[in-house]
Amino acid sequence: MHSYKYLGWVLALLIVLSSLTVTVTDIFGGEKTVVISEELQVVETAIPVTVKTGTTAELAETAKSAILIDAGSGTVLYEKNCHERLPPASITKIMTMLLVLEAVERGQISLEDKVTISQRAASMGGSQMYMEQGEQQTVETLLKGIAIGSANDACVACAEYVAGSEEIFIEMMNKRAQELGMKNTHFVNTNGLPVADHYTSAYDIALMSRELLKHEIAHEWFTTWQTTVLVGLESKKQTEFELTNTNRLIKLYPGANGIKTGFTREAGYCLSGSATKEDLTLIAVVLGCDTTHNRWGETMKLLDYGFATCENAVLAKKGEVLGTIVIEKGSPSSVNAIADSDINLLVKKGEGDQVTTEIVLFERIKAPLKAGDKVGELIALKDGAEVGRYPLVADGDVEVAKLHEIYIRMLKTLI
């Protein structure tokens, strides 16, 4: 009896520690063997790949500064004076919206929360929703006012609700800018009204625009042309205020889906514009244009260039199972390795079919394990050379198995 028990434990241990291979279907066709590696070092998200298209033409002639990037990887496709510090006008509101939506995502606030409009918020000039001191609006209504109508009063109201004061919120804006790598940015207010020492760059705007686009709920607001909101104190006469989108790009350019306009005499006509065609989303930023006509024209020219020269090779979809790993002493005993987001690789137009993939998974992962923990990598190869690495994560929690579970598994190996 003791010898059988000992033999069972040895066999169970050998099964857990043995090398593993997993067969998965390559998204480009055929099957391949997944490598299980004890030495794997998982890196953070995508390695941007430079897509050199060889252009020397100036695509944004009337803009002081401009940039075109791939929203997925952050790859820069074109730039003109992209790190020059310039006043951004209402494009500032991209950071304001980002911080509010991140507060929603953390559970700190909700879109249904009612915000009481302060005297300070109600006194804002420029584009606004004409709210009165003391009236209440939901966070979602205020965000719609910012995204669609570029409402300055809504920016201040949101800032005060999230941080307690606009001053503290501005500190948060500058801190978040540093975290995003925005090295040529300094915010002094939440809405971009003219003030000294308030500046950013086309490159930095592209960074925060890319981050804002990750919040899918905002896409609905960015692409809404007109809507109405009810404003005013309930004790007085309330009126329906019409919001019309300041971003005419969504009317002018097929696939346009954002993001934010800006204009002051000092800043000129500015735009952070985005568009999606098939699996490719591009962000074009132009600053300091002399006319609104040129603002739209330069942005569309940049987007046309990007879509004509680049495409995305789709490597994996969010949640796609790309392998299975046995978890040592785990309950359950295995976990799927999945892509935690869509994985795309930017390539020159027509070269998508030249990309292949390999999956590498950790060996001997021990319980406990949490959903979202890194368990491997998807490696992208083009012409046999590695061009990108992307993390794969566990699709569920794995607890440490109870003794009776381990014993049952051990007995199954003897049958």
**Residues annotated as part of the active site:** 90, 93, 150
Q: CA-CA distance, 63 to 393, in Å (whole number)?
A: 43
**Where do the DSSP E strands lie in 83-184?**
114-116, 136-138
Collapsing DSSP to helix, strand or coil, 275 comes out as strand
Q: List the one residue out of 149, 150, 146 whose CA is nearest residue 138.
A: 146
Residue 156 to residues 20, 90, 368, Cα–Cα distance (Å) = 56, 13, 45
Q: Quick one: DSSP state of residue 92? A: G
Residue 398 to residues 53, 186, 332, 368, Cα–Cα distance (Å) = 46, 44, 6, 5
Q: Please state at what angle helix 93-106 crosses helix 139-149, rounded to 10 degrees.
A: 150
Residue 146: which residues within 8 A CB-CB, separation 6 or more? 93, 96, 97, 154, 155, 158
Q: CA-CA distance, 185 to 208, in Å (whole number)?
A: 11
Q: List the one residue out of 310, 321, 311 whose CA is nearest residue 27.
A: 321
Q: CA-CA distance, 76 to 298, in Å (whole number)?
A: 17
Q: Quick one: DSSP state of residue 398? A: B
Is residue 78 within 8 A of residue 106, CB to CB? The reply is: no
Is residue 115 within 8 A of residue 136, CB to CB? The reply is: yes
Length reported for the chain: 415
